[in-house]
Amino acid sequence: MSVRKVSPPKPQNTSKRPTRKPAPRRNVYTEKHIYTFLIIICLLQTAFLGSLLYLLISLNMPDIRSVTRYRPAQATIIYDSKGMIVERMFTENRTVIPLAAMSPFLPKAFVAAEDGRFYEHPGLDFISVFRAAMHNFQDGAKSQGGSTITQQVAKSLLLTPEKTYVRKFKEAILAWRIDKLLSKDEILYIYLNQIYLGEGAHGIEAAAQVYFDKSAASLTLGECALLAGLPQAPSRYSLFDHLDRAVERQKYVLNRMAADGFVTPEEAQKAYDEVIALNPRKQQATDENGYYLELVKKQARDILQGALQTAGARIYTNLDTKMQAQALSAVRRGVRAGLSRKTLAGDKIEAVPQGSLVCIETASSRVRALVGGTSFSKSPFDRASQAKRPAGSTFKPFVFTAALNQGWSSQSSIDDSPLSISGRDGRSWSPKNYSGKYHGQTTLADALAHSLNAATVRLMQQIGYKEVHKIARKVGFTCKLQPDLSLALGAADVSLLELTAAYTPFAGDGSFTEPSFISKIIAADGTILLPEKSRSKQVIASAPVMGQMRTMLRGVVTGGTGSKVADVPGVRGGKTGTSDDNRDAWFVGYDGRYTTGVWVGNDHNQSMGNKESGGTTAAPIWRDFMLAARTE
């Protein structure tokens, strides 16, 4: 049996580590694919939900084409005869103007202050939104917004003011669409006319007038920067209430303008150093101009056929504001003088009289001043145009004109003795002279100068009331004219306005034209509208008649009942009037340029007392006013 030889085992190398079984290899690319896939899914879902949200919101989105028809409510502006603004009527105080009618600094200032990247972004500025979000996050509150000028236009014109995410989303969509629809200048034009700038001013033209009493075209760089600082918080940066804050905000705007290259640093510093000349807060001067402007507004509404507060019209009037102020002062002084007379006489004051005054430029029939009472704010009832009171002896010149037209002369004789006239009801009427004295046979000139009632009634008896009616209608009287002799003594209820206008033929060339308050109206679309002009009517065609009437009316002021105005330089004629029981006092007179009428009386028709007449009460007011008017 053979024996197998076995080799001894080889010694193991104990220094060598045992080989580890390799772990299964991870599939890293598969995980990356999964993450990428999940991200894509999330993005697609976001895009889908965003698109769905966009679609749902778009279904209820305003039509942006309306912004191309930008016609906001505009203020109607009323101007005086010298082109100065006397009143603005509005629901929103706005005057729309093109960019060309603005200071070139204005658009630049607002862009620098509100939307520095306005000319670069497509209506939405994501950089500004991110910057504002980071700033708000750091502050822990919403202290900055990221709205562009285009977004502000969208919000102002197309959206409601509530603060919701849906409205903000709509605002962004609309801003993007508007940017595609309009040019940058068109967007800026809307923005600058729409923006609210405090103190009731909408748009930069209204703001320029409110704060600086000038047009937007005349604003300096410093003033533009002040206005551009207002949109963020008009109350906080109010130029009237918080000028220090407004100036700090102005500095920020000027620095932004310099940084954006709109102005040089030197120009910005010079603008910051400007002296700020603010226009004081104004209240409507209703007491001074109120009565006149109410008549203007009534006529303008008839012409424009709509509400003035939203019409955006420019109304140019014939008002002379200095003469208007003088007229109001004269009426107030005259009424106070009458009260003083009663107080000094120890008479009981049962009522405080009112007064009115009308001044017409004779050659043009333009009404330069009209006062309907002592205070429009306390009593807006217009006693110059609305009150109808007996004309008294101021009606007599029309009786005498009718007589001269029939061949009488100023030196013709007329009987001024007591008379008694039987009325239709069987009762007799005995007209008495104001002084209680009668003059017997007298001339027409003396009868008018001394306002003799008996002589005037006899004159009308002889010429007939129908001839007087004809003259009265020609000079504009629309009231009922009595078909009897009482008309000779002014038994016709007239307004001071129509009575004053009726005297313009005596003061002028014998023709009559309706008095005018408005010279022209420019509608919002630029159409020029003129009030309907009445034709001139020849009332006194005969030169001899005209000459005699002027001579007789001059006699009234040089030696008759109107002698209190004789010292007024240039006075040419006039006539006093006093109604029964001294209820109304009148004086109408004229110089070479103006025909002016004055009335004083009580609203409830009480007597003013037997010492108050046309010559003592109304004529001094006329004198006071005409002396002041001549100094202008």
What is the C-alpha to C-alpha distance for residues 581 and 123, in angstroms, rounded to an integer?
78
- Per-residue tokens: 75: 């203020």
Phi, psi values for residue 497, rounded to 5° = -60, -50
What is the Cα–Cα distance from 602 to 106, expressed in whole angstroms? 55
For residues 91, 93, 99, 102, the Cα torsion angle rounded to the nearest 10 degrees is 170
Within 10 Å of residue 90's Cβ, how many Cβ atoms? 21
- Give me the residue label for tokens 């004086």: 587
Catalytic residue among 87, 103, 114, 451: 114
Written as one string, the DSSP assignment of 586-618 is EEEEE-SSEEEEEEEE-TT-----TT--IIIII
Is 385 tagged catalytic? Answer: no
Buried b (16+ CB within 10 A) or exposed e, 569-596: eebbbbbbbbbeebbbbbbbbbbeebbb
Nearest to 497 by CA among 593, 588, 582: 588
On the 0-12 / 13-18 / 19+ scale of CB atoms within 10 A, 387 is buried
Residue 594 pairs in a beta bridge with 361
Q: Which of 189, 182, 230 is nearest to 208 (CA)?
A: 230
The angle subtended at Cα 144 by Cα 256 and Cα 252, nearest 5°, is 20
128, 393, 451, 613: the catalytic one is 393
**Residue 311 β-bridge partners:** 74
Residues 6+ apart with CB under 8 A from 484: 423, 465
H or E segment and range at residue 89: strand 85-89
Give exposure, 609-623, as e/b (b: 16+ Cβ within 10 Å).
beebbbbbbbbbbbb
Asked about 409 being catalytic, the answer comes back as no
Strands 413-416 and 440-443: antiparallel
The string of DSSP codes covering 422-436 is E-TTS-EE----TTS
Q: Is 255 exposed, middle or buried (0-12, 13-18, 19+ CB in 10 A)?
A: middle
Positions marked catalytic: 114, 393
